[in-house]
Structure 1
């Protein structure tokens, strides 16, 4: 199986690939989520891993649009506790560091740490682990990366500050996507991701939410996105969990009639144990 990830070995996406799949997989490293989606569509990979939301930074809204626009199917999810470590060449100390380069999300999640180190310049980059790799390959002194500890192990760097994230209980939800529908055993399905549009009139969203409640669905996520070229019209992305598959099927049959552009983005097993 070939799995496409955003970033390179040593990234959080790499950690998810290692933890989610019980068998050895071949990684296809992609430097953007757009190229990750392209790899799936072009058949270069069988399955992809995409971060979709974080407990601190919130939803990664462009990824909802990518999944919808390219008709990808969510077939699983994984919740990863995020640990940010500051790493540099062996022998470098915090006082030697003049510049820290990392993904914007990592910088955002560690901003409190750097308030106490205002002499350090923060620079945005596309991937946490890729910065660690460049520091190692080019022997860049006075520059540090923020990355998972596995990146230091892979690229031979030294961790100079552990756990620098502002909020220690920091987790990211990743979705497992592919171009084909899920083939999970029905007994394993207890979560679904849905997308729909509604008329802009009073009570339309409340009516949908009432259907979900009446059908014993638990709403775990709702996210709105503007519909391109249709001002003030929104698409809603909803995640629901359920105990009985027939309750879910009943809800779907009703919402299909009530909502516009209704789509099931995926049915899968709830990743939160």
Structure 2
């Protein structure tokens, strides 16, 4: 039973929102400012599960998080998609023209940079977390300072929203993984998505051959991400997500891939949240 969940950020962060939406019963959120600390809490059994953003529809993959899951042999047991709406907020009785600096997570700043071109007087500063900035502004009553964060953060930390949905692309989703120390706990007949990692021979056509195997086994490739193998320059591992209608098709593909690839690793077998 999940009782404690580690999140990157504080209450009001997008990871915190996912922790409230994904689980059927209330869970205690352990606030962490870095993903390394998030994973540390899981490995040390301080938390029962962790939530980690893996990719965003605007900014792409969050590669260091794939590496953390791999390094500590963790398992993806579920996923959750969240509509990310970034809002500019500050203490009450201030306007955008009063704001001199805006602090937020680098990903949030990247997604909102177009908005700030109309406000060249505002300096953008990278910070560790969206909601943590909102908390700091509230705690220290920082004037002329803005945060980019969720509506929930503005409500928790009593800030006024100066501009809503300021991200460049209005339909902005992030995919979050629910990660545990052990593998999937759901019945086999409910599993229709899997995350895996493998390496290929350094030969022409090796990756294409593997992708053909997946296609022949009726797997739908929803994501492929390469990651450098640090110990071997210019050689890469591939992180792949696949969906399927019948688990038997995946089991067949898995058996073939064990033979055809190097170091096949199954990160998780779970329910596809994007139907």
Range of TM-score over shorter length: over 0.9
Alignment of 1:64-79 (within 5 A): 64-79=66-81
Q: Corresponding residue for 1:207?
A: 209
Please report how far the alpha carbon of residue 45 of structure 1 lies from its aligned counterpart in structure 2 after TM superposition. Answer: 0.1
Counterpart selection for 1:159 from 158, 161, 176? 161
CA deviation map 1:105-148 (0-9, x unaligned): 10110001000000001111000000000000100000010000
Counterpart selection for 2:174 from 169, 172, 189? 172
| Structure 2 residue 10 is matched with structure 1 residue 8 | yes
- 1:67 counterpart SS class: helix
CA–CA distance in structure 2, aligned partners of residues 232 and 87 of structure 1: 44
Please report how far the alpha carbon of residue 180 of structure 1 lies from its aligned counterpart in structure 2 after TM superposition. Answer: 0.8
CA–CA distance in structure 1, aligned partners of residues 76 and 140 of structure 2: 39
CA–CA distance in structure 2, aligned partners of residues 155 and 188 of structure 1: 40
Cα root mean square deviation, aligned: 0.6
Q: Corresponding residue for 2:31?
A: 29
CA deviation map 1:20-41 (0-9, x unaligned): 1111001100100000000000
State the aligned residue count. Answer: 273
Please report how far the alpha carbon of residue 161 of structure 1 lies from its aligned counterpart in structure 2 after TM superposition. Answer: 0.7
CA deviation map 1:197-220 (0-9, x unaligned): 011101110111011000000000
CA–CA distance in structure 2, aligned partners of residues 101 and 33 of structure 1: 19
Please report how far the alpha carbon of residue 103 of structure 1 lies from its aligned counterpart in structure 2 after TM superposition. Answer: 0.5
Question: Runs in 1 of length 4+ with deviation above 4 angstroms?
Answer: none
Counterpart selection for 1:145 from 124, 144, 147? 147
Structure 2, unpaired ranges of 5+? none
Q: Corresponding residue for 2:92?
A: 90
CA deviation map 1:170-192 (0-9, x unaligned): 11110010111111111221000
Alignment of 1:20-59 (within 5 A): 20-59=22-61
- 2:224 counterpart SS class: strand
CA deviation map 1:59-94 (0-9, x unaligned): 001111100010000000011111000011011111
CA–CA distance in structure 1, aligned partners of residues 101 and 233 of structure 2: 42
Q: Corresponding residue for 1:269?
A: 271
